[in-house]
Structure 1
């Protein structure tokens, strides 16, 4: 089933707000920032479906007007159910000049025989900030379904003024690769990726040092952070629990949002 969500964020008199939205079942999009004081738009993607089923195709499109700021949230963990074929999701985000987009979704739980393809395409104009993350678990570990999914792939492409500056491809196929071997998960069960990118010419060095000092020795977590060729950084984390990695990313989001995005 093809499921669509399209949102336009506008900016007027110093405030960001949802100007227009179009959704089909099972999507809903709701404002959740009524108690926030920063004049940014806070939206939550909700779904009446328990997760992605065989043949599902999610199409998400977000347009952010110049000067607008959006923090997008999710309702719950994203579950990928048993599939004979595959499911997919494509998210396209366009940031106007001087805008901000931050999205730290809940972890993905790929169940037995699931096959999932995800593609994120982000276009940044000048003086923009982007924060984007994803966490994939080993599956329903407590139900004995550890690494029993078939295929998980998340491709992210980030463009600045039409030029590709970041391309990241996470591909996990437990039955075709030594999933817990050297250079892959190395004994861990969960993997997370976080990308921060700006087109404002701001060096990420201070944030790289601060985050490594704070999280580099986190218990039961392998934490790595490196500078991108363009202005930004990428974080890779390995761990044993989805909630631990999710809360770590949310802390990083809060630090950036408070000190940088809304400066």
Structure 2
């Protein structure tokens, strides 16, 4: 079944808000940040379905108009049920100048014989900040179901003013890959990725050093962080539990979000002072 979610976030008197929304079953989109004071839009994607079924095709489009800020959330873990032909999800994110987007979704739980392909396409303009994460589990671990899914793939492509700058492809096929060997999961059961990119010239070296010092010492995980060729970084984590990875990425998101909001406030105040002197 083809399922669509298409939203546009706009700005009014300095506040970001949900301007347009088109959804089909099982999607819903609801505001959840009424008490936030950073003038950003906080939206949650909700679903009446327990997860993705065979032949499901989720098509998501997110459009951020100039100078808007959006933090997107999910309500629960994403479950992938037993399939014959597989399911897919396509997410297109368009970011106009001066926009901020952040999305740390709940982990994905691929069940027995599931097959899933996700493709994220991001188009960024100048002075933008983008953060996206993904956590893939081994399946229903507590019931003893480990790596019984057939295919999981998450492809992310980030374009800046039409030029491809980041391409990340996570592909796991436990039935034909030596999933526990060196270079793949190495005995861990969960894999997580977080990507942050900005086109605003915002220095990220302090973040890289801080996150490495804070998270690389945690026991029972393997944590790595790398600087991208532009202003951004990528984090890879291997672990044995979904909650610790999800909470870690939420904490990283909060640190980055707070830094971005402070930066935006300073820029606005600087512009106002300059305009008052003219």
TM-score by length of 2: 0.94
SS of equivalent residue, structure 1 residue 25: coil
Number of residue-to-residue matches in the alignment = 263
Question: Is 1:242 aligned to residue 211 of structure 2?
Answer: no
Q: Deviations over 1:68-90 (max 9, x none)?
A: 00000000000000001100000
Query: Aligned in 2, Cα 1:195/1:135: closer, same or farther, shift over 3 Å?
Result: same
Q: Hey, what does 2:124 align to over in structure 1?
A: 124
- 4+ runs deviating over 6 angstroms: none
How far apart, in 2, do the equivalents of 1:69 and 1:219 lie?
35
Q: Hey, what does 2:271 align to over in structure 1?
A: none
SS of equivalent residue, structure 2 residue 82: coil
Question: Is 1:53 aligned to residue 53 of structure 2?
Answer: yes
Q: Would you say the 8 A contact 1:125–1:160 is kept in 2?
A: yes
How far apart, in 2, do the equivalents of 1:250 and 1:225 lie?
16
Q: Deviations over 1:79-138 (max 9, x none)?
A: 000001100000000001000000000000000000000000000000000000000000
How far apart, in 2, do the equivalents of 1:197 and 1:261 lie?
15
Q: Would you say the 8 A contact 2:58–2:88 is kept in 1?
A: yes
Q: Hey, what does 1:92 align to over in structure 2?
A: 92
SS of equivalent residue, structure 1 residue 126: coil
Q: CA deviation at 1:201?
A: 1.7
Query: Aligned in 2, Cα 1:86/1:262: closer, same or farther, shift over 3 Å?
Result: farther
How far apart, in 1, do the equivalents of 2:262 and 2:30 lie?
22
1:1-263 correspondence to structure 2 within 5 Å: 1-263=1-263
Q: Would you say the 8 A contact 2:38–2:261 is kept in 1?
A: no
Higher Cα Rg, which structure:
2
SS of equivalent residue, structure 1 residue 237: strand
Q: Would you say the 8 A contact 1:41–1:71 is kept in 2?
A: yes
SS of equivalent residue, structure 2 residue 238: strand
Q: Deviations over 1:145-198 (max 9, x none)?
A: 100000000000000111000000000000111101100000100000000000
SS of equivalent residue, structure 1 residue 211: helix
SS of equivalent residue, structure 1 residue 17: strand
Q: CA deviation at 1:262?
A: 4.8
Q: Would you say the 8 A contact 2:104–2:249 is kept in 1?
A: yes
How far apart, in 2, do the equivalents of 1:127 and 1:247 lie?
28
How far apart, in 1, do the equivalents of 2:75 and 2:142 lie?
22
Bigger helix fraction: 2
Q: 196-205 or 2-11, which moves further after superposition?
A: 196-205
How far apart, in 1, do the equivalents of 2:217 and 2:87 lie?
37
How far apart, in 2, do the equivalents of 1:218 and 1:12 lie?
43
SS of equivalent residue, structure 1 residue 181: coil
Q: CA deviation at 1:144?
A: 1.9
How far apart, in 2, do the equivalents of 1:63 and 1:214 lie?
34
SS of equivalent residue, structure 1 residue 178: coil
Q: Would you say the 8 A contact 1:199–1:231 is kept in 2?
A: yes
Q: Would you say the 8 A contact 1:54–1:83 is kept in 2?
A: yes
Q: CA deviation at 1:261?
A: 4.0
